[in-house]
Amino acid sequence: MQYDVILPAAGSGKRMAAGHNKLFLELRNKPILIHTLEVFQQDEACRGIWLAVKPDEKAYIQTLLEKYHITKVKAMPNGGEERQHSVVACVKQIEDGQIVLVHDAARPFITIPIIHELVEAAEKKGAAIAGVKAKDTMKVVENGKIKGTVDRSSLWMIQTPQAFDFTLLKKAEQQAETDNFLGTDEAMLVERLGQSVYIVESSYENVKITTKEDLIFGDAILSQRIGG
Ligand SMILES: Nc1ccn([C@@H]2O[C@H](COP(=O)(O)OP(=O)(O)OP(=O)(O)O)[C@@H](O)[C@H]2O)c(=O)n1
Ligand SMILES: C[C@](O)(CO)[C@H](O)COP(=O)(O)O
């Protein structure tokens, strides 16, 4: 069970408003980006890491890779305007992928058992994504008015990693480019091909560091894991 992982890390962190790439913020004295990279560096099933970065951040990231002995990064292509474009930039660099995962570099708390469940599911079914069951009631709102409530029993909050047969992922990205379609995750691109995508139940700890409150939650997760 081998896989490659694409880590889009070329965002602007607007919602974090840190004044720089939020992935350079530290949790327990270590950059968020490194926390994420270390999971895949340590996973023997991970063949290679493909990291989409901002051109002007490449040199700094290279120093981080050397400092933390991250040796699996195969390429650091320039990210794009949208997350999807950053993922495509990595897809174009992978030559002989079989199972490829796409994982937000901003999700540092993913664990190897969940990764392996996703890889196994993608090997069997072609596409599998991480998610957790919705905990809040979800409603459709238009102009400040509730238009309806979505049945929560079938609602999941979707995360990454998202694992794919590489041929399928490439086909989905190519079709999206042809159609000028922009999705918020890669699963959307595969779904629109009519391909079934399967869920693997993940953890509520697998948060995406997006706003400042997530840093508080993230520190608490690390404290619990380290026992500190
Ligand atoms: N053009 C982009 C946008 C996002 N990302 C990456 O995709 C992941 C998830 O995106 P998000 O959490 O939205 O990060 P940002 O786009 O940086 O945040 P914001 O939307 O608040 O600006 C992050 O690891 C981010 O670095 C990327 O590689 N290229
Ligand atoms: C891919 C994702 O993490 C699934 O929930 C999410 O859609 C990314 O959204 P973002 O706005 O690009 O962070």
Q: Where are the domains of the chain?
A: 3-226
Q: What integer is the mean pLDDT of 110-127?
A: 98
Which of the four CATH numbers 3.90.550.10, 2.40.128.280, 3.40.50.300, 3.30.450.20 does domain 3-226 have?
Answer: 3.90.550.10
Q: Which atom of ligand 1 is nearest to the CA of 53?
A: 28
Q: Are the CB atoms for 83 and 11 separated by under 8 Å?
A: yes
Q: Which atom of ligand 2 is nearest to the CA of 162?
A: 1
Cross-sheet strand order for the sheet of 198-201: 73-75, 46-52, 3-8, 99-102, 156-165, 127-133, 198-201
Higher pLDDT, 158 or 97: 158
Which listed ligand is nearest to 24 at the C-alpha?
1
Q: Residue 105: CB within 6 Å of ligand 1?
A: yes
Q: Which atom of ligand 1 is nearest to the CA of 106?
A: 24
Q: How confident is the model at residue 1 (pLDDT cuts 50, 70, 90)?
A: confident
Return the percentage of the chain with pLDDT > 70, whole number.
Answer: 99
Nearest to 127 by CA among 189, 79, 70: 189
CA-based radius of gyration for the chain: 17
Q: What integer is the mean pLDDT of 50-78?
A: 98
Q: Which atom of ligand 2 is nearest to the CA of 186?
A: 1
Reported in sequence order, the residue ranges of the chain that DSSP labels E, i.e. its strands, are 3-8, 26-27, 30-31, 46-52, 73-75, 99-102, 127-133, 138-142, 145-150, 156-165, 198-201
Give the chain's mean pLDDT.
Answer: 97
* Global confidence as pTM: 0.97
Q: How confident is the model at residue 228 (pLDDT cuts 50, 70, 90)?
A: very low
What pLDDT, on the 0 to 100 scale, is given for residue 226?
A: 78
Which listed ligand is nearest to 185 at the C-alpha?
2
Closest protein CA for atom 16 of ligand 1: 11
Q: What integer is the mean pLDDT of 57-66?
A: 98
Q: Distance from the CA of 46 to the center of ligand 1, in angstroms?
A: 23
What's the CA gap between 60 and 51, in Å, rounded? Answer: 13
ipTM passes above 0.85: yes
Q: Residue 214: CB within 6 Å of ligand 1?
A: no
